[in-house]
Structure 1
Amino acid sequence: MPDIGVSPRPVGGSVVVGQGRDHPVTIDRPRTSGADASLTQGDKTVEMQHPTMQDDPTQEDGMTEMTTQASSLRLDPVEGTAAGTRRVTIVGAGFSGTLTAIRLLHFAAAPLEICLIEREEGYRYGGIAFGWAATNWEHMLNIQAGRITLRRERPEDFLEWANEEADRSEWPQKWQYHTFGVACVVPRRIFRQYLAERLHDAAADAHAEVSLRELSGEVIDVHRQGDGYVVKYAGATKQGGVHELPSDQVILATGHLAPVQAPFYHRIRDCDRFLADPYAPGAQEWFREIGAEESVLVTGSALSAFDTVISLIHAGHRGQILICSRGGHMHGTYPVDHEHDIWQARRPPFLDAEKLTPEAVVEGIRAEYAHLRAEHGVEPGSALDAVFPERVMKAWEPYVIELISRMDARDVRMLLDTYKSLIVTNRTSTVREIGGVVRSRMRGYNGAPKTVDVLSAGIQDMRPVEDGTKIQVVFADQPDIVVDRVVNCLGNKTDYERPDHPLWHGLVNGHGYAQPQTKTRRGIEVGTHGQLVSADGTVAAGLFGVGPMRQGDETTRRGRLGAFVFSIGTLRNQCFDTAMEVLRRLEPASDEEQMDIPDGIHHCLIRSSDWIAADLAAEEPQATRLRERLQSYAKDNAYPNAVNYLQAQDRTERRKYRAILDDDLADFGAALAREFGLTDRQARRTVSLLATLVQKHAVHNLCDITKLAGWDSQYAEQVKHAPRKGA
């Protein structure tokens, strides 16, 4: 991987990376390829197994494309932590795992070791969406640059990094001198670099007794031991071996399950002309091996199909591409002047029915959608028409929550399965650098024949023909065709009841620590902050999940559908919230202070204050006065202090605001004791609970997408409200 953000100057066996706030920061890098690296800051060490990057001679226009090598280093087993040091292990170092580690590094203020384990080096810091193994330089984020910050509380963070901090030495020439603005498109590989650099920035800036250890290996089991867990992983080095990693808390960030394997693939699964996963390590090489004029069938029409077309074009393919799906639905393309809008829509009238049947729901949605098109004056083919479906679906999220809560689980799953393609393709459009590339090849030009077709049909079977050099595709209602290649873009499996992932099979069916999501059968059941819900319905203390395994929960809890169940915005909210909850659970406190707080109570400071006051069992009118006192302090003092702490730029600022917050809370506790005759123990407990609820409330608000409208910077006004017809 590249030395991100570094101007390497060899000094013996080390490379000077930069200057930490308190100490110089260096990466000790032996001269051999793929060497182990140790990032040292004073008495703090960040252990890293980083493979080096190699030039790829196939890069177009003479540019250097960086590819990953598997590390061949000796990986010593990780022993127990030092006395007083807790350990959090994150399984998976893709987007969710990396960002969760960043958040832990930002806010951990007590001795802590963070272990970040990744089994596939090509996915480190990016997963299948942004990792080097899964992408090329033509793969773009399907979201504008102004909306991809890792820190929702600092919306300008990515733009500041890209324009002022990023090392561009390994970027293709077209991007080396590019100035990014709010509406710019961004190559996914640049976003991966942003993730990697922000992780190492956070490690260098962390508390002196907080360390990051990056490991290579595959986690094969997680099981309870005492008050914590043991993470068992197989080392990814030549020496191999199975190691055990005792951990106080475990965060599972394992990404997607394996790609869907439809029954009609059974004859060609082992055929080298079939690609089961377009994001797999080696897939980009597979695309480059395709003959320029070979015909390719792409099964599925969602975003992965668009990515596949981009991969083929990048590899120099000029032949025919057939995108096939049952419904033939395709993502639209955003207008050139597209702006992200959040609308409000009325509650659909069909929800007033006493009983919601699937038939009534489908008819009701169609009628309400037609009503909204008329209300907004949407003309077919207009710029608004291109983005109208996704804006309506965003506005309907509160009603999706109600709808799912009132329907039988079987009916919910049936609707989601039946209309999956329609939901997915309408929930988001594509930026022009993705959708425009595909659609330009769906029409012919003088001297440039049409090369991309879309077919709505059901596939019955596929079989190798002509000595395995071609594949025959059998359809249910039209003549067979013969193609040179087939690429599977049917998406990933979502049902965790019988996962083929060994770790999840053990968690669900072996230990019973997790269970499939009840209503949707998509992902797993989790608590408010991502805690796994075990087979008996109890919340598994110390075991969390972030990422696509929470997609069913995102639908039932927040009404999200399509790709927004695991979008950047969704996942960064999960990572922030889960990291803060994990740190809260690691804080030393009495059992009373760590009492379970009711789900959702932190969404409202009034409810939070009332709950704390009720627990003190004060009599009226003192109880009313106590509630008012808590509410007033929470709103006017504690909440602003908490927001300042959470929004701080670096550890120096965080330390300053944390001291202000703690001192102010201590003074408030003393005042409460005097005013209401509380004991010292009651006052401490009250302040502790209030601090927790206020911080949880602040995190909740900072994860609210509508808050982006309030940023005060050169990149402001991200969110607008849709005009009414005739306004």
Structure 2
Amino acid sequence: MTSEHYRPDADILIVGGGLSGTMLAVQLLRLPGQRRIVIVESRGELGRGEAYSATELGHTLNGNAARMSVDPDDADDLTRWLGEFIAAGGWPESDEQHVPVAELFPPRGIFGLYVQQRLVEAQAVGAQHGSTVEHVRSEVIDLQTDPTGIRVTLADSTQLSGRFGVLATGMFAAARTPQRDADGESDTLNAAAVDPWDVAAMRRLDPQGRVLIIGSGLTMVDTVVSLEQAGHRGAIDVFSRHGLLPHVRRQPPSWPDFLAADHTIRSTRQLLRALREQCEQAIAQGIDWQAPLDTVRVHIPRLWNQATDLQRRQFVRHVRPWWESHHHRSPPPSAQLLDRLLQEGRLNVHAASLLAVQDREAGQVRINLRYRGEDQPTEVSGAALINSTGIQYDWRRVDRALPKQLLARGLIQPGPLALGIAADAGGAVLDAEGHVSDRLFAMGPPLRGLWWESTAVTDVALQAKALAARLVASYNP
């Protein structure tokens, strides 16, 4: 069949219908022109994905409303929507935060409603010029490309075709993702662990039992919130290599964008030196050190992208733990809970590395750890184990059908430092030989290695707008 008569199932076929895939659909629907969009997403709803399917009010965004708009051209979009939502009777608990709407940290489930409403509105706009979006509820287990486009195979063996394909797979949460270690063996941590967000499962635990948590980042914060809401009142021991907790997110005043004024700062060492000087200046003036730190965020993609592999490795090895604890901060309500538990002595944080998970027996789970500074391993036991190590970005270790097939077919290659997958600056995927695809694209978390920060709402919103424009320019029906 010639390309002139080729009629695929979709003009743009999006793999994944969480925040990334949904926001791309929104941007495509808003643009003039007629196009068919198909989103393959295993969940029953679009717009939620892994992050925004949470149902507990205590699982909030880690950024306030003013920072979390899905509209890259309107920073106040979420603030206005949230104000209207609250005024209409939604989220009455918002009064407990005692701050203006722009400074509220909304529950992730409510944020999912906001994303869904923006999709409905975009569908109405798209309908005016004949554009449609269809949700196919399934999982993509294989993908192939040819000169006319892409073809995906679904879990029930159904096949769908598209002129263009977009990998908007979102985040592979370590706690919910089957994984393989460096030797290709299946991991044992998740097999013995409780889901960090499964409050119902936590209610079945001994409320006074000792809970062991591996990882001390934002997933750990969610885990502690889940345990609290489940009625757990026992000891909680957190283990991570450096024993660092996320700082609480505050609302500092504005600070001059020092990186915009000095493009000579290029290396990790230069950045840290300049940032330390700016923070010291802020503290000397009685200003929160988070003010200068917050100006760095917008420059991270540029700095990471222009860095050498050596500089990136140095950053990941020596700076990453401190960067993430200072930058990926905890929402105030959650931080207050952690602080209370620390003061009560129920929560203890240890610098230690997990070595092995022993067999679970009689309501107890045993793990082997090596505490920092010690040579010999230590066995620790508890009533439950929870994997809070965050996100698995190395697609070679993700034990799911699609990543495995894409790698096996040579359609993708690992991104820098094996973070996500490789792509050009516009999201076009690079195959195993380094060729840039003109049919397969990626956005959001899969581009972690390209931009470092590629998971936040603002990152995804900007990428969605740019990729939508590129796709539309590539194909004009």
Q: Same fold (TM over 0.5)?
A: yes
- 2:293 aligned residue (376, 390, 406): 390
Distance 1:232 1:249 in 2: 15
1:116 match: 39
- 1:278 aligned residue (163, 184, 196): 196
Distance 1:389 1:299 in 2: 31
Report SS of the residue matched to 2:145.
Answer: strand
5 Å matches for 1:668-679? none
The alignment status of 1:99 with 2:23, answered yes or no, reads yes
Deviation at 1:427, TM superposition (A): 1.9
Contact 1:389–1:426 at 8 Å: present in 2 too? Answer: no
Distance 1:500 1:378 in 2: 50
Deviation at 1:414, TM superposition (A): 5.2
Report SS of the residue matched to 1:309.
Answer: helix
What code does the residue aligned with 2:420 have?
G
Q: Given the superposition, is the C-alpha separation of residues 267 and 397 from structure 1 closer, same or farther in structure 2, using an over 3 Å criterion?
A: closer
Deviation at 1:87, TM superposition (A): 2.0
Report SS of the residue matched to 2:462.
Answer: helix
Deviation at 1:97, TM superposition (A): 0.7
What code does the residue aligned with 1:583 have?
V
Report SS of the residue matched to 2:244.
Answer: coil
Contact 1:348–1:368 at 8 Å: present in 2 too? Answer: no
Q: Given the superposition, is the C-alpha separation of residues 306 and 93 from structure 1 closer, same or farther in structure 2, using an over 3 Å criterion?
A: same
Contact 1:333–1:430 at 8 Å: present in 2 too? Answer: yes
Distance 1:522 1:313 in 2: 33
Q: Given the superposition, is the C-alpha separation of residues 341 and 324 from structure 1 closer, same or farther in structure 2, using an over 3 Å criterion?
A: farther
Contact 1:144–1:183 at 8 Å: present in 2 too? Answer: yes
The alignment status of 1:195 with 2:115, answered yes or no, reads yes
2:406 match: 507
- Normalised to the residue count of structure 1, the TM-score between the two structures is 0.58
Report SS of the residue matched to 2:412.
Answer: coil
The alignment status of 1:305 with 2:247, answered yes or no, reads no
Q: Given the superposition, is the C-alpha separation of residues 367 and 542 from structure 1 closer, same or farther in structure 2, using an over 3 Å criterion?
A: closer
Report which structure shows greater RCO (CA 8 Å, sep ≥6): 2
1:127 match: 49
Contact 1:229–1:248 at 8 Å: present in 2 too? Answer: yes
4+ runs deviating over 4 angstroms: 81-86, 165-169, 175-180, 260-269, 339-342, 345-351, 364-370
Distance 1:304 1:285 in 2: 17
5 Å matches for 1:362-377? 367-377=273-283
Distance 1:262 1:340 in 2: 44
Deviation at 1:193, TM superposition (A): 0.4
Distance 2:272 2:235 in 1: 36
Q: Given the superposition, is the C-alpha separation of residues 302 and 265 from structure 1 closer, same or farther in structure 2, using an over 3 Å criterion?
A: farther
5 Å matches for 1:320-399? 320-335=235-250, 337-339=251-253, 341=255, 343-345=257-259, 367-378=273-284, 384-385=288-289, 387=290, 390-391=293-294, 393-394=296-297, 397=300
Contact 1:129–1:135 at 8 Å: present in 2 too? Answer: no
Q: Given the superposition, is the C-alpha separation of residues 267 and 189 from structure 1 closer, same or farther in structure 2, using an over 3 Å criterion?
A: closer
How many residues are matched?
A: 459
Distance 1:506 1:84 in 2: 22
Distance 1:342 1:570 in 2: 21
Distance 1:139 1:499 in 2: 25
Distance 2:39 2:265 in 1: 48
Deviation at 1:569, TM superposition (A): 0.8
Distance 2:88 2:462 in 1: 28
Q: Given the superposition, is the C-alpha separation of residues 262 and 460 from structure 1 closer, same or farther in structure 2, using an over 3 Å criterion?
A: farther
Report SS of the residue matched to 1:491.
Answer: coil
The alignment status of 1:469 with 2:389, answered yes or no, reads no
Contact 2:424–2:430 at 8 Å: present in 1 too? Answer: yes
What code does the residue aligned with 2:455 have?
F
What code does the residue aligned with 2:11 have?
R
Distance 2:335 2:255 in 1: 20
Distance 1:487 1:188 in 2: 21
What runs of 5+ residues in structure 1 fail to find an aligned partner?
1-80, 235-240, 445-449, 556-563, 589-727
1:486 match: 385
What runs of 5+ residues in structure 2 fail to find an aligned partner?
none
Q: Deviations over 1:277-329 (max 9, x none)?
A: 525xxx23222322321211111111111111111111122211112111111
Distance 2:224 2:189 in 1: 21
What code does the residue aligned with 1:103 have?
Q
Q: Given the superposition, is the C-alpha separation of residues 189 and 578 from structure 1 closer, same or farther in structure 2, using an over 3 Å criterion?
A: same
Identity percentage of aligned residues? 21
Distance 2:431 2:421 in 1: 10
The alignment status of 1:222 with 2:122, answered yes or no, reads no
Q: Given the superposition, is the C-alpha separation of residues 393 and 468 from structure 1 closer, same or farther in structure 2, using an over 3 Å criterion?
A: farther
Contact 1:159–1:180 at 8 Å: present in 2 too? Answer: no
Deviation at 1:218, TM superposition (A): 0.7
What root-mean-square deviation, in Å, do the aligned CA atoms of Structure 1 and Structure 2 show? 3.3
Distance 2:283 2:207 in 1: 45
- Normalised to the residue count of structure 2, the TM-score between the two structures is 0.85
What code does the residue aligned with 1:313 have?
E
Q: Given the superposition, is the C-alpha separation of residues 100 and 176 from structure 1 closer, same or farther in structure 2, using an over 3 Å criterion?
A: farther
Distance 2:431 2:412 in 1: 4
1:678 match: none
1:15 match: none
Deviation at 1:265, TM superposition (A): 9.8
